[in-house]
């Protein structure tokens, strides 16, 4: 019997805790989710929102990507906490560095994907993570990037020029009611990258609450176009239920004026 895929649904996948090691000798905690019985068609390396205000590897869009896309879209999903960031998985070493030291975090994630021969690597950045993707993600090992709610806060014209010169595909999904950069402004900014695609999403807001399925459809459409979208909303096979209660406050408070504390953690051995 088919069951509805809900926010807490975990579809079959091979999931393992991983560690990334940066060039400045920090240990970052993460997870790699892969299809159960086949090689992935492509790989998403997720770069999360601002950690000082709730962003982490388990921010809801990335959590749903890891729980669903290995089964629904043949994708590997690599999530990790940037330096100083906490989630249930644990806390990465170091401290938040305003998109400076995080260059080593991005490099470590790309190197991990390359060393483990993960195919067709795409960066999936969200808010602060889009700045990291733009500044440090134009790497020979990277196929392209998808940006969710890009604020262009820590990145600038020189970063856009580098992407333009590379010719690598770049897609920005921009909420109609974004707090920082709305579709019309985004089209003006990303005009510096001829191959960039700016997709305005009607009714959406910066945190994508209620619109995660739209995001996942648009991601799959570009990363593995062989998979029909919209993705299924029901599942006929085994399904587990995850506990998302540790994240509820961080989803709604992610960009509040006051930083929020991390959720309870399990031990990261």
111, burial (CB in 10 Å: exposed 0-12, middle 13-18, buried 19+): middle
pLDDT, tens digit, 9 for 90 and up, residues 76-134: 999 999 999 999 999 999 999 999 999 999 999 999 999 999 999 999 999 999 999 99
pLDDT, tens digit, 9 for 90 and up, residues 13-56: 999 999 999 999 999 999 999 999 999 999 999 999 999 989 99
Predicted TM-score (pTM) of the model is 0.92
How far, in Å, CA of 255 to CA of 128, rounded? Answer: 11
Strand pairing of 196-201 and 90-91?
unpaired
Strand partners, 46: 79, 124
pLDDT at 260 over 70: no
From the centroid of its chain, how far is CA 181? Answer: 18
Domains, the chain, in order of start with CATH, read 13-225+248-252 (3.40.50.1820)
Structure token digits, residue 164: 């333009």
């Amino acid at each position: 019997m088919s069951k509805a895929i809900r926010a807490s649904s975990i579809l079959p996948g091979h999931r393992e805790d991983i560690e990334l090691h940066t060039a400045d000798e920090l240990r970052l905690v993460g997870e790699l989710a892969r299809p159960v019985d086949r090689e992935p068609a492509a790989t998403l390396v997720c770069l999360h929102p601002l950690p000082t205000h709730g962003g982490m590897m388990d921010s809801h869009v990335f959590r749903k990507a890891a729980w669903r896309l290995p089964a629904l879209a043949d994708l590997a999903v690599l999530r990790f906490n940037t330096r100083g960031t906490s989630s249930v998985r644990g806390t990465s070493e170091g401290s938040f560095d305003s998109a400076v030291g995080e260059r080593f975090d991005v490099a470590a994630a790309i190197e991990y994907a390359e060393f483990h021969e993960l195919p067709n690597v795409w960066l999936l950045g969200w808010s602060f993570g889009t700045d990291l993707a733009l500044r440090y993600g134009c790497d020979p090992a990277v196929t392209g990037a998808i940006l969710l709610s890009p604020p262009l806060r820590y990145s600038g014209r020189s970063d856009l020029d580098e992407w333009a010169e590379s010719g690598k595909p770049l897609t920005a999904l921009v909420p109609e009611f974004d707090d920082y950069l709305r579709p019309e402004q985004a089209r003006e900014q990303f005009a510096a990258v001829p191959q960039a695609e700016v997709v305005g999403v009607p009714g959406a807001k910066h945190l994508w609450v209620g619109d995660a399925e739209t995001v996942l459809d648009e991601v799959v459409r570009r990363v593995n176009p062989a998979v029909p979208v919209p993705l299924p909303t029901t599942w006929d096979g085994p399904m587990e239920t995850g506990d998302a209660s540790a994240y509820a406050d961080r989803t709604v408070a992610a960009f509040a004026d006051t930083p929020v504390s991390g959720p309870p953690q399990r031990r990261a051995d």
